[in-house]
Amino acid sequence: MLNRWQSTIVDAQGNIQPFAELTILNEETQGPAAVYHDRAGSSPISGNVVADESGYAYFYARGGRYRIQSNDLNIDWRHVALGSAATADVVQLTGGSTANVMSQKAVSDQLFGVGQEWGSVTRSPGITYTNTTGRTIMCVITFSGYDPSSTSTVIVDNIGVSQYKNQAGSTSGGPTETQRSAVTFVVPSGGTYKIELGNGHIIDRFRELR
């Protein structure tokens, strides 16, 4: 059983093109495709597919990918999928293919912030954590400390991406001031992250958008 393709052919301005002629090629071989007038494949189309007086064109062909061209109308439709190929190449992940398409869910899953929520988490200094959510997450750490010679570092995938350091200062007649500051960073899906805490520094709060 063959699969049907159909369309009303228009030009670049949207004007219907009666009797437009279309060349149908096999996308894989770039040779002429076997196309038919009927689903049973008993009536082959010889030459081009020709639209009717209303610009309506159709053909039947085996499942696969096709290239549809019309030099007169500057049409060159690539990777037109018929049959099982139209659904088999819907994927749920990113990649380098120029033919596969991502499902609506897969696209939504890649949108940062969509379906994600802020929450408090406990993260101990010096321990490596892995983002296993399948999506990019954002982290915000609030540090406090008093030692201006000390630095805390955020490490993502073994690269230092952000730092917290006190500014030198003191209260009148007292010890060095305690200062607070927030550090924000993102962690890719599958990425690792850890905090190298400086002397006299404290993690007051750790939030993640995940």
Rounded average pLDDT per 10-residue block, the chain, 210 residues: 92 91 95 95 95 96 94 91 64 69 78 91 95 93 84 95 75 57 93 93 94
Q: Rounded to an integer, what distance in angstroms lies between the CA atom of residue 41 and that of residue 4?
A: 11
pLDDT for the residue numbered 116: 92
> Residues 60-78: pLDDT tens digits?
999 999 999 998 899 999 9
Which residues of the chain does CATH 2.60.40 include? 3-109
C-beta of residue 32 within 8 angstroms of C-beta of residue 80: no
CATH 2.60.120 assigned to 118-209: yes
pLDDT for the residue numbered 98: 60
Beta strand segments in the chain, E: 3-8, 21-26, 49-50, 56-61, 64-70, 75-82, 90-91, 101-102, 118-120, 129-130, 137-145, 151-156, 159-165, 179-187, 192-196, 202-209
pTM of the model: 0.53
C-beta of residue 65 within 8 angstroms of C-beta of residue 86: no
> Which residues sit opposite 33 in a β-bridge?
none
CATH code for the structural domain at 3-109? 2.60.40
> Residues 20-41: pLDDT tens digits?
999 999 999 999 999 999 999 9
Which residues of the chain does CATH 2.60.120 include? 118-209
Q: Rounded to an integer, what distance in angstroms lies between the CA atom of residue 81 and that of residue 8?
A: 17
pLDDT for the residue numbered 114: 87
pLDDT for the residue numbered 177: 60
